[in-house]
């Protein structure tokens, strides 16, 4: 197979969906996974109605090691390779630390951070075998700066940066790059839980004066898969309208 095969976790909504659409427009075969079977089916129908046949969608909870193992094994059996991995799936469960429950701590750490190990440890051997790979992990500006009510989320996203840099060192001589794209506040369902007055404050702090669009993250992710980016590894690319400066 000469086409590039990409696995994008959490590609049925928001940033992940924009990444999938961008990849499809660039003629990649796109495989995604998410937990909601009905939405997955709708997502797949939608892509097929748009004329794409090079798509697939798995029900897989990225916080679950065994589900990730069997999903990647199935993809290998069906398609033989994974050239590009985008670890995008993520959740928030915000609360100040004094109100943070163990359940919310664990859910966020498992979905946003354990998932990197759960998926990547199974995909990496396929990339090593072919001496090629592009791994892109989606972090957050709040993993760089911290945020009130997000000790769990900021810790998980900061962990993403350590994971990225360490793995980049391990595989840099194998033609595999590993980078983090760190979005600021992007218009997706994830933002829907933020009260309007807080959102207005946030927008007021963004130097370019607006929220970002999922497509703006997807463009940067795509660039990291192109030949022009082959000298970039172990990097954190901030896409946040300048918010990281404050
Ligand atoms: P959305 O909530 O819009 O979409 C999340 C996607 O991940 C959905 O497809 C969802 O599908 C899937 N997902 C959630 N949990 C799991 C799981 N356990 N296993 C597999 N799939 C899962 O999120 P965004 O698009 O806003 O965020 C995408 C990434 O970008 C996340 O990592 C987020 O932390 C990061 N980010 C987002 C920002 C923003 O402002 N929106 C800012 C900075 C970073 P389903 O529910 O069916 O499982």
Q: Is 86 helix (H, G, I), strand (E, B) or coil?
A: strand
Q: How far apart are CA 27 and CA 84, in angstroms?
A: 13
What pLDDT, on the 0 to 100 scale, is given for residue 246? 81
- Largest distance between two CA atoms of the chain: 53
Q: At what angle do helices 151-171 and 102-109 cross, to 10 degrees?
A: 30
Instruction: Return the CATH number at 33.
Output: 3.40.50.720
For residues 182 and 139, the answer to whether their CB atoms sit within 8 Å is yes
What pLDDT, on the 0 to 100 scale, is given for residue 138? 98
Q: β-pairing, 133-138 with 176-183?
A: parallel
Q: How far apart are CA 168 and CA 176, in angstroms?
A: 8
Residue owning the nearest CA to atom 41 of ligand 1: 186
What pLDDT, on the 0 to 100 scale, is given for residue 42? 98
Asked whether the CA dihedral 34, 107, 97, 116 is positive or negative, the reply is negative
Q: Counting atoms of ligand 1 from 1, which one is nearest the CA of 12?
A: 9
In the chain, which stretches have pLDDT less than 50? 1
What pLDDT, on the 0 to 100 scale, is given for residue 191? 86
CB count in 10 Å sphere of residue 246:
10
For residues 7 and 86, the answer to whether their CB atoms sit within 8 Å is yes
ipTM: 0.99
Residue owning the nearest CA to atom 12 of ligand 1: 10
Residue 91 CA to ligand 1 centre (angstroms): 5
Q: Report the pocket of ligand 1 as residue ranges, CB < 6 Å.
A: 9-10, 12-16, 33-36, 39, 61-63, 88-91, 111, 138, 140, 183, 185-186, 188-191
Q: Given ligand 1 and candidates 7, 9, 14, which is best to mutate, with the most ligand atoms within 8 Å of its CB?
A: 14
Catalytic residue (choose from 58, 153, 185, 222): 153
Residue 167 CA to ligand 1 centre (angstroms): 22
For residues 118 and 137, the answer to whether their CB atoms sit within 8 Å is no
DSSP secondary-structure letter at 135?
Answer: E
Tell me the two tokens of residue 16.
């992940």
What pLDDT, on the 0 to 100 scale, is given for residue 194? 86
Residue 89 CA to ligand 1 centre (angstroms): 4
Q: Give me the number of domains the chain comprises.
A: 1
DSSP 148-176: TT-HHHHHHHHHHHHHHHHHHHHHGGGTE
pTM of the complete model: 0.98
- pLDDT tens digits for range 48-105: 999 999 999 999 999 999 999 999 999 999 999 999 999 999 999 999 999 999 999 9
Task: Please state, in angstroms and as integers, the Cα–Cα distance from residue 190 to each residue in 15, 27, 92, 155, 195, following that order.
Answer: 10, 28, 7, 18, 12
Range of the domain at 84: 5-245
What pLDDT, on the 0 to 100 scale, is given for residue 190? 87
59 strand-pairing partners: 34
Residue 137 CA to ligand 1 centre (angstroms): 12
Per the annotation, the verdict on 153 as an active-site residue is yes
Residue owning the nearest CA to atom 39 of ligand 1: 186
Q: Given ligand 1 and candidates 7, 66, 89, 153, which is best to mutate, with the most ligand atoms within 8 Å of its CB?
A: 89
58 strand-pairing partners: 33
Residue owning the nearest CA to atom 32 of ligand 1: 90
């Amino acid at each position: 197979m000469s086409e590039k095969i990409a696995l994008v976790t959490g590609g049925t909504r928001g940033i992940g969906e924009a990444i999938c659409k961008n990849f499809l427009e660039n003629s990649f075969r796109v495989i995604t996974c998410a937990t909601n079977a009905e939405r997955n089916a709708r997502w797949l129908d939608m892509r097929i109605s748009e004329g794409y046949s090079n798509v697939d969608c798995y029900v897989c909870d990225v916080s679950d090691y065994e589900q990730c193992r069997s999903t990647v094994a199935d993809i290998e059996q069906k398609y033989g390779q994974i050239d590009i991995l985008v670890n995008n799936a993520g959740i928030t469960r915000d609360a100040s630390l004094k109100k943070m429950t163990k359940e919310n701590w664990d859910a966020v750490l498992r979905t946003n951070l354990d998932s990197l190990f759960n998926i990547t440890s199974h995909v990496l051997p396929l990339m090593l075998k072919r001496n090629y790979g592009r791994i892109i992990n989606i972090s957050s500006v709040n993993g760089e700066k911290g945020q009130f009510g997000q000790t769990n989320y900021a810790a998980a996203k900061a962990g993403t940066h350590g994971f990225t840099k360490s793995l980049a060192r391990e595989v840099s001589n194998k033609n595999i790059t590993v980078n983090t794209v760190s979005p600021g506040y992007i218009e997706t369902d994830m933002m829907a839980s933020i009260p309007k007055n807080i959102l207005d404050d946030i927008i007021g702090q963004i130097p370019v004066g607006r929220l970002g669009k999922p497509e703006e993250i997807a463009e940067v992710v795509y660039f990291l898969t192109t030949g022009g980016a082959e000298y970039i590894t172990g990097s954190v690319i901030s896409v946040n309208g300048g918010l990281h400066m404050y």
